[in-house]
Amino acid sequence: MISSVAVVVHDGVAPFELGLLCEAFGQDRTDRGAPSFDFKVATPQPGRVPTSVRGLAVEVTSDLATVEAADLVCVPALPWNVPAPPAVLAALQAAYTRGARLLSVCSGAFVLGQAGLLDGRKCTTHWRHVCALQEQFPEALVECDVLYVDDGRIVTSAGSAAGIDACLHLFRAEFGASVATTVARGMVVAPHRDGGQAQFIDSPIPQTSAETLQPVLDWMGANLQCEISVDELARMALMSPRTFARRFRAETGTTPYHWLTNQRVLFAERMLEETEETIERIAGLAGFGTATALRHHFGRLRGTSPQRYRRSFGGPQAAQTEAAPNVRTQAAQSA
DNA sequence: AAAGGATCCCGCCATG
DNA sequence: ATCATGGCGGGATCCT
């Protein structure tokens, strides 16, 4: 369980990535049922830290000692082609061996790499830097087409705004989907930018217009329960299946089928948290024909079973989370 | 639990 | 010439 968060910065830190970490973990949203953290920004020598923006500096009061107490240590974007201060690397290594979780945004992955924490580990960074990351750290398993990678204790995320997705992912994994949604609402972003797991989306903002697949996406999202083939979707979009598949990838970064099962798992997650429907029924409502299919995809995408997920995040109490000052309820344990 | 059948989806290529 | 289209083959994945 995460209760304290430290962000490590040094000269040249990028304000946006620093800012999103402050926004995600430094805001008090307890009135809406989200957890609050002991949140600190730390640097080797406290004082004025220049940012990557000329003429803008931040005043940091905490030194690296505060990192020692943090359950989650975050690394925002930092100059990727210069060595990080040895004290920072030591602090990160210590945090890791102590059992803390680590999160990097954008070029922050290079600092984790310098600390030797990426060897043999799946990770990512901004698409402009993936090659450099792989070259500098040959042992790292760099993935280039994802918004973020969660490899157990270390989460690395792609450029800029993908850091928000990684933060929301952490909230989801630690506190459940409804808390993640609360935080997302607070930050006014989509709860799960999951249509596109890709960093690259050819047409950046698929706004509602005739040129776009948005209507079909909306329809799909609203009709998860019906079994629908990709061919039928293509017909609905007035395209050949081949063109539909291509356009779909261009706009969402995924394939139709993957997008759909993703939405279905998200829906099932909510049902597990907020209702007491049987797995069988949830499977039906989410559009998985059978409970077996639900278990299969849920396990594949979430690394756990629907039942286990419900035990940690669900139960009837969780349904009232709107009103109740939240602490995650420890639902029934046992096998 | 495993295998055959269906569906999906991507590289390739001809077409407009 | 460049670009979007869409048909096909077959490897991957899913379902039963």
pLDDT in tens, A190-244: 766 653 445 554 433 334 334 578 888 888 888 888 888 899 899 888 899 999 9
A108: Cβ under 7 Å from strand B?
no
Sort A239 into a burial class: Cβ within 10 Å, 0-12 / 13-18 / 19+: middle
A255: Cβ under 7 Å from strand C?
no
Report the pLDDT value the prediction gives residue A244, as an integer from 0 to 100.
94
Residue A259 — left, alpha, or beta (φ > 0 → left; ψ -120 to 50 → alpha)? alpha
Place of tokens 């040094």: A10
Where on strand C do bases come within 7 A of a protein Cβ? Answer: 4-8, 14-16
Does the pLDDT at position A330 exceed 50?
Answer: no
What is the distance in angstroms measured between the alpha-carbon CA of A228 and the sugar C1' of B4? 23
Nearest nt (C1') from A245 Cα: B9
Identify the DSSP state of A68: G
Which helix (H) or strand (E) is A25 found in, with range? Answer: helix A15-25
Strands A72-75 and A4-8: what pairing? parallel
What is the distance in angstroms measured between the alpha-carbon CA of A334 and the sugar C1' of B16? 65
The confidence band for A40, taking pLDDT boundaries of 50, 70 and 90, is very high
- What's the residue count for chain A? 335
A242: Cβ under 7 Å from strand C?
yes
Sort A316 into a burial class: Cβ within 10 Å, 0-12 / 13-18 / 19+: exposed
Torsion angles phi and psi, residue A105, rounded to 5: -120, 130
Nearest nt (C1') from A261 Cα: C14
Q: At what angle do helices A256-274 and A214-222 cross, to 10 degrees?
A: 40
Nearest nt (C1') from A240 Cα: C6
What is the distance in angstroms measured between the alpha-carbon CA of A317 and the sugar C1' of B16? 61
Sort A162 into a burial class: Cβ within 10 Å, 0-12 / 13-18 / 19+: buried
Does the pLDDT at position A48 exceed 50?
Answer: yes
The confidence band for A118, taking pLDDT boundaries of 50, 70 and 90, is very high
More confident: A15 or A174? A15
Report field, pTM of the whole predicted structure over 0.75 = no
